[in-house]
Amino acid sequence: MGWGFRKSIKFGPFRFNMSKSGVGHSVGGKGARYTKTADGRKQMTFRIPGTGLSWRRPIGGRRR
């Protein structure tokens, strides 16, 4: 098992995520969030607050 690193900084609805692989960012609130990861992938996450249920959908790129 290797070592990892992750740090999140929040500015209102914006979040910057720094990790070993680079910097990503996300924007949104409790119900929906748009994310661009450090390796360039984009996704939308929809959540039902208080239930622990969420659904992620990749944006762009090739679908499998």
In a domain, 38, yes or no: yes
In a domain, 20, yes or no: yes
In a domain, 1, yes or no: no
In a domain, 64, yes or no: no
**pTM for the structure as a whole:** 0.74
Q: Report the number of distinct structural domains present in the chain.
A: 1
Range of the domain at 17: 6-59
Tell me the pLDDT tens digit for each residue of 6-62. 899 999 999 999 988 899 999 998 899 999 999 999 999 999 988 989 999 999 876
- CA-closest candidate to residue 31, choices 7, 55, 61, 58: 55
SS3 for 32-58 is: EEEEECCCCCEEEEEEECCCCEEEEEE
In a domain, 33, yes or no: yes
In a domain, 26, yes or no: yes
In a domain, 41, yes or no: yes
